[in-house]
Structure 1
Amino acid sequence: MSNILVECPQCIASVRVGVLGPLQYLAEKALCKVRYCDTRQITREDIAWSDILVCVRGCEYPTLRVVQAAKRAGRFVVYFLDDDLLHIPTGNASTKYYSDYKIQQNLTKILSLCDALWAVNPRIIKYYRRWCSRTILTRVPAKIVKEPPKAAEPLKIIFAGSVDHSSLVQEKLSPAVTRLLSEFPGKVEFTFIGASPKLPEQRGLQLYSYFDSYDAYQELMINGNYSLGLAPSYDTPFYACKYYNKFIEYTSYGILGIYEAVPPYTDIVRDGENGYLCGGDSENWYGKIKNVVLNCHEIQIKTAAAQDELLRDFSHTKISYELFEQLPELRNFCAVKVDPSEVCLPHMRWLFYQERIQLLIRMYGVLACFVIAVKAIRKIMKLFRRKLEK
């Protein structure tokens, strides 16, 4: 039985759903053992314990040091990637971070050291296999969290995404939402999570900032009784490399989706069957949403069809074993035993924060001291809130 160590700067959705989802299912079947660690918390003992290291979206120098230590110790290293991180478009909140020349160098160095590239989109494999020739393609497992809500007024419509999507929302959805709220007063309600639509406060509009707590976010999605979910995108190579996460997420919460008619949504959505596909401008979004609102009696039927597909093709059992077949090392790779003292790894917490400060200086120059101060205050406040909650 292999010991699998999963590493990432923090336990983001890519870790929880994309990696730990299938691996923990295999662990429950006693086919492997799984341990997750934030990068800054990894120790020599963790590397010595592991047979396999799974690096999730790694691109910082501390992750490079972890991968180098694992390789020297004879560990099998897998790189999980679900985004085209080398080509983040301008205008995103993360553009400066991923455009940093050291971040880009670290990413390709890490990937070139790995034994296998694990992706959830074939386009990622096409672009990144130059650094790692062995590739694994899987889907992300999912389960039904909530059945579709019963038809009711107002019809609740949601967009859930990061602040990175604000310009996308403002360009494609905001004009449509303004018109629909005017035409259907009291009959529709729009909720935006994360991205700001830049609309004035008004009846039928709910706004939530990005949730730091995944549990709080999940509670809202379960109890919000949303019937319709919106997923705009752009027709570019970067967005085509993404995974159709919104189809999985909306469907799992009993929400029928309207998705932009571009990859990757066209890889999974069949218009009028398991969701709707929509043209890219605000006029198309207005027309499509209006048509669904006028025919809202069809929503439950189509949501049920989408959920049947999720149960059939995206079960943890099916996807975990697909991964197992492509990567048999998960079960039978045993690394040479080493003593923790033999693992060449620096003090990770110190290295992590040192590198983060240097990165912020490269990104913001003299303004870095203010950015660091703000981040420190936010972290302290977050820790304080957690203590109060306990």
Structure 2
Amino acid sequence: MRVLFVVPYPVGQAASQRYRVEQWLPLLQERGIIYKLAPFWSQSAWGILYKSGYILQKTFGLLFGLLRRLLLLARLPTYDYVFIHREATPVGPPWFEWVAAKVFRKKIIYDFDDAIWLPSTTRENSWVAKLRWPRKTAAICRWSAKVSCGNGFLQNYARRYNPAAVLLPSVLDTEKGYIEQKQQQTAEVVIGWIGSHSTLPYLQLIAPALQRLEQKYSFKLYIIADRPPQLNMQATVFKKWRRETEIPDLLQLNIGLMPLPDTEWARGKCAFKALQYMALGIPAVVSGVGANKEAVRDGATGYICNTEQEWYERLEQLILSAEARAEMGAAGKAWVQARYSLQAHRQTFLSLFS
């Protein structure tokens, strides 16, 4: 069997691709399946994509990516499956997917972990917003042999267009990567969040609760991201995200945060931050939105909050009790191992290729 992975990003650079595609590749190797990754963005274009300016360089990067997709069509006959993560091209209609499915008659496996049928762009990439084609998601679902969905909300959407929509959560390797467990008896309490510039604004949803807590308790607020947060708090410590230090940086946390607004886009999120925290024995305190309500067992592996007062009270409880943090952390680690680990979903992933 030969599989072509049509992916957006250079290898090792983006969380969604690393966890929904790249971490599964050793399993394919074990089964003797031959595969090839074909990113859209080059390493140089990716390096500036989410920086302000660089319009000319971004445009050349986009055109070069489109050219690579056009040349890739000639290689399609040599593959049995075409696995498309999110989209083949970031702009325009789904011409590559249509040619693969309708002209070359390839079996497409379509994978997504966000509500990508909704219009969404960043301030830095407003230059390309008008060229995006979010409505193509429905068409690609129809043309696919199977659709791999990161949560139930996404699966329900995909089932409108294709009954072969499979629920495959974003999972973690709890035998090789996420093996350590946070020791909660620490001299200082660290509350933390991990994410990117696109989700940094969500921290403003709980800023009032955090600011109130800072007035009463001593703690550090670690923000692990690609850019600093805009928070008016003395407790804030910014940690530049790096793949090599991601897990050690997370292990500095005693409590993990995942606030979300109650929007359709947020309901498409796969609770991945919460899973990362719990996999390392860190209680997750999250908004009661979307997959968060399934991923976190309220009162057992963390807390689900719906109001500012709930955020304040739940965080206060965890700040004050190392025993509660340790108990929830251990329960969360066991929960992820059983329900959200690479090992628990091996057969789900392999079933996509049958």
Query: Normalising by the residue count of structure 1, what TM-score does the alignment of the two structures yield?
Result: 0.72
**Correspondence for 2:44:** none
Structure 1, gaps ≥5 residues long: 330-390
Give the secondary-structure state (helix, strand or coil) at the position aligned to 2:238.
strand
Inter-partner Cα distance in structure 2 for 1:112 and 1:8 = 19
Deviating above 6 A after TM superposition, structure 1's stretches of 4 or more consecutive aligned residues are none
Match of 1:104 in 2: 134
Q: How does 1:143-154 map to 2 (within 5 A)?
A: 143=174, 144-154=178-188
Structure-2 residue corresponding to 1:84: 115
Q: Which residue of 2 aligns with 1:127?
A: 157
Residues 28 and 89 of structure 1: is their aligned pair in 2 closer, same or farther, counting only changes over 3 Å? closer
Aligned residue for 2:2, secondary structure, equals: strand
Query: 1:104-126, CA deviations, whole angstroms, 9 ceiling, x for partnerless residues?
Result: 24444444432222102122122
2:334 equivalent in structure 1: 308
Q: Does 1:117 align with 2:147?
A: yes
Instruction: Write the distance in 2 (CA, Å) between the matches of 1:47 and 1:97.
Output: 32
2:102 maps to 1:75: no
Q: Equivalent of 2:81, from 42, 52, 67?
A: 52
More helix by share: 1
Q: Within 5 A, what are the aligned runs for 1:246-257?
A: 246-257=273-284
Provide the rounded CA distance (Å) in 1 between the counterparts of 2:346 and 2:127.
32
Cα distance in 2, alignment partners of residues 251 and 151 from structure 1: 17
Contact 1:60 1:106 (8 Å CA) reproduced: no
Q: Counterpart of 2:154 in structure 1: which amino acid?
A: I
Q: What is the CA distance between 1:261 and its match in structure 2?
A: 2.3
Task: Say if 1:102 and 1:236 are closer, same or farther in 2 by CA, change over 3 A.
Answer: closer
- Name the CA distance, whole Å, in 2 between partners of 1:217 and 1:316: 18
* Superposition RMSD in Å: 2.9
Alignment correspondent of 1:10: 9
Distance 1:83 1:314, change over 3 A: same
Partner residue, 1:64: 94
**SS at 2:289's partner residue?**
coil
1:199–1:126 CA distance, 2 compared to 1 (3 A): closer
In structure 1, distance between residues paired with 2:267 and 2:312: 23
Q: 1:56 to 1:63 in 2, by over 3 A?
A: farther
Counterpart amino acid of residue 122 in structure 1: G
Q: 2:48 maps to which residue?
A: none
Q: 2:208 — aligned with what?
A: 175
Q: What is the aligned partner in structure 2 of residue 21 from structure 1? A: 23
Which residue matches 1:245? 272
Distance (whole Å) between structure 2 residues aligned to residue 114 and residue 27 of structure 1? 20
Q: Percent identity?
A: 18
Q: Describe how 1:217-366 pairs up with structure 2 within 5 A.
A: 217-222=246-251, 225-281=252-308, 283-325=309-351, 327-329=352-354
Shift of 1:97: 7.8
Q: C-alpha distance in 1, partners of 2:249/2:123? A: 24
In the superposition, relative to structure 1, how do residues 62 and 167 fare at CA in structure 2: closer, same or farther (>3 Å)? closer
Structure 1 88/160 Cα, relative in aligned 2: closer, same or farther at 3 Å?
farther
**2 CA distance for matches of 1:103 and 1:37?**
21
CA contact (8 A) 1:117 1:136 kept: yes
Give the 3 Å change call, closer, same or farther, for CA 167–61 of structure 1 in structure 2: closer
Asked whether 1:30 is paired with 2:31, we answer yes
User: For residue 294 of structure 1, what is the amino acid of its counterpart?
Assistant: L
- The answer on whether the counterparts of 2:170 and 2:340 sit within 8 Å (CA) in structure 1 is yes
Please give the per-residue CA displacement for 1:180-209, whole angstroms capped at 9, x wherever unaligned.
Answer: 222123xx111123375523463x320245
Q: 1:63 to 1:56 in 2, by over 3 A?
A: farther
Structure 1 residues 116 and 145 mapped into 2: Cα distance closer, same or farther (>3 Å)? same
- In 2: Cα distance, 1:216 partner to 1:63 partner: 38
Q: Distance in 1 between matches of 2:136 and 2:348?
A: 30
Q: Distance in 1 between matches of 2:155 and 2:109?
A: 14
Counterpart CA distance in 1 for 2:312 and 2:280 is: 24
Q: Counterpart of 1:37 in 2: which secondary structure?
A: strand
Gaps of 5+ in 2: 41-64
Contact 1:140 1:319 in 2 (8 A): no
- Rg: which structure is higher? 1
Please say which of residues 271-280 and 36-45 is displaced more in the overlay.
36-45
TM-score by length of 2: 0.78
- The structural deviation recorded for 1:25 is 4.3
